[in-house]
Structure 1
Amino acid sequence: MTSIKWRTLATDLLKKRTQGNTESSFNRKPAKKVRLNEKVRLIPFDKMRKESLKWYQDPESMRNIVGIKTIYSKEQIQQMYEWQNQHGLLYYIEYNHGSHCQIIGDVWLAEDDYAIVIDQAFRNRRIGRMVTKYFIYKSKKMNRDFITVSEIFNWNKTSQKMFTNLGFYPFKENKDSWSYRRRLKKAQIEKKNSK
């Protein structure tokens, strides 16, 4: 199975993605909001929100997302979101300030990829870690063997540190990045030995 990462320019996604049906382990009932703590919750994707423009039109953030300083147009972001929503679980990350709530990022879990984007103003608050821990739990409940991050760029030391601290390990070298993975099930040999 070949897989071109979702980070490819959004206009190319529908033409280039060649993997088969990725909906096999996704329950297509309407997704519900997920409260992670008193400040953070996950909101199922419903439409493109204007906050997305801030992340996907910032060249510095995009360098960590796609590997080059670029920006996505509103149409490219919409196309990316629609594709991700059809091929996995897509949520916005909402932060509660007390007096109001704000969308501060998005997160996507597919059969062969996991991606998270947090607004620069909300980084280094352990929000990404909390959200990722939830999706590790969710992946285990879905009876997955692994959760995979298809691409973390070599210069993105913050993401590398977060994922390795959560038990992910680099398993495949790419041109300027590594793919990371976390095993969710113990190896069959370990299970047999424990019986």
Structure 2
Amino acid sequence: MTSIKWRTLATDLIRKRTQPKTESSFKRNRSKKIQITEKIYLIPFDKLRKESLKWYQDPESMYHIVGAKITYSEEQIQQMYEWQNEHGLLYYIEYKNGDLVQIIGDVWLAKDDYAIVIDQAFRNRHIGRAVTKYFIYKSKKLGREFIMVSEIFDWNKASKQMFTSLNFYPFKENKDSWSYRRQLKKSKRTSEESK
């Protein structure tokens, strides 16, 4: 049985949000900004910011995010963010270039999924890579055995390249995509086999 992930369609989130809430295993410090590099910061989700409209209302960006050239309404983006925020760690990605400070993406880490969106104008600067390296570290600190990306579409070559360069590997084939995973610690079975 295949579960529908948040990226499929924003309208599916309404159905998901009616399911019983599960207790999140993430300890949250909502007010703390996290410095990743000299230029990259993570800001805990607080509200829908207008920059998000640019990413989720651009059909080309959405083709890489959800696999279809659709757009999300402001209400659908808000619902998606609220659902993600209830089921994991959701941050905006802030980028500083001299005196100019901009929100240029978002990132979400859940127990069984990881997703990152970077504004087209800021791609190919290794921002996604730096943020993902932080979340690999964060997942290890949370005691996770692996970090998983539920869906990278076959045509999203840049994402596939970034994740494989960070030792993620494809482990489950979907219709037009693969799920990727990175092992964070040896499982007990692997440890016993190596003895």
TM range (shorter): over 0.9
Tell me, yes or no, if the aligned pair for 1:3 and 1:17 is still in contact at 8 Å. Answer: no
Counterpart residue identity of residue 77, structure 1: I
Q: Which residue of 2 aligns with 1:39?
A: 39
What is the SS of the residue equivalent to 2:131?
helix
Greater alpha carbon shift after TM alignment, 18-27 vs 3-12: 18-27
Q: Distance in 1 between matches of 2:21 and 2:142?
A: 16
What is the SS of the residue equivalent to 2:139?
helix
Structure 1 residue runs without a partner (length 5+): none
CA RMSD of aligned residues (A): 2.0
Q: Distance in 2 between matches of 1:185 and 1:21?
A: 28
What is the SS of the residue equivalent to 1:103?
strand
Q: Using a 3 Å threshold, how does the CA distance of structure 1 residues 175 and 19 change in structure 2: closer, same or farther?
A: farther
Q: Which residue of 1 aligns with 2:162?
A: 162
2:48 pairs with 1:48: yes
Quote the offset at 1:29 in angstroms. 4.1
Which aligned runs of 4 or more in structure 1 are off by greater than 6 angstroms? Answer: 17-20
Q: Distance in 2 between matches of 1:98 and 1:123?
A: 18
Quote the offset at 1:14 in angstroms. 2.8
TM-score (norm 2): 0.93
2:73 pairs with 1:80: no
Counterpart residue identity of residue 95, structure 1: Y
CA deviations on 1:65-88 (whole Å, 9 max, x unpaired) are 000001111111011001101110
How many matched pairs? 195
Q: Distance in 2 between matches of 1:2 and 1:16?
A: 14
Q: Which residue of 1 aligns with 2:12?
A: 12
TM-score (norm 1): 0.93
Q: Distance in 1 between matches of 2:183 and 2:17?
A: 25
Quote the offset at 1:32 in angstroms. 1.6
2:91 pairs with 1:66: no
CA deviations on 1:97-131 (whole Å, 9 max, x unpaired) are 11121000000001111000000000000000000
Counterpart residue identity of residue 40, structure 2: V
Counterpart residue identity of residue 41, structure 2: R
Q: Distance in 2 between matches of 1:62 and 1:27?
A: 30
Q: Using a 3 Å threshold, how does the CA distance of structure 1 residues 115 and 103 change in structure 2: closer, same or farther?
A: same
Quote the offset at 1:194 in angstroms. 7.4
CA deviations on 1:24-59 (whole Å, 9 max, x unpaired) are 421144352110111000000000000001100110
Greater alpha carbon shift after TM alignment, 30-39 vs 60-69: 30-39
Counterpart residue identity of residue 42, structure 1: L
What is the SS of the residue equivalent to 1:124?
coil
Q: Distance in 2 between matches of 1:38 and 1:23?
A: 34
Structure 2 residue runs without a partner (length 5+): none
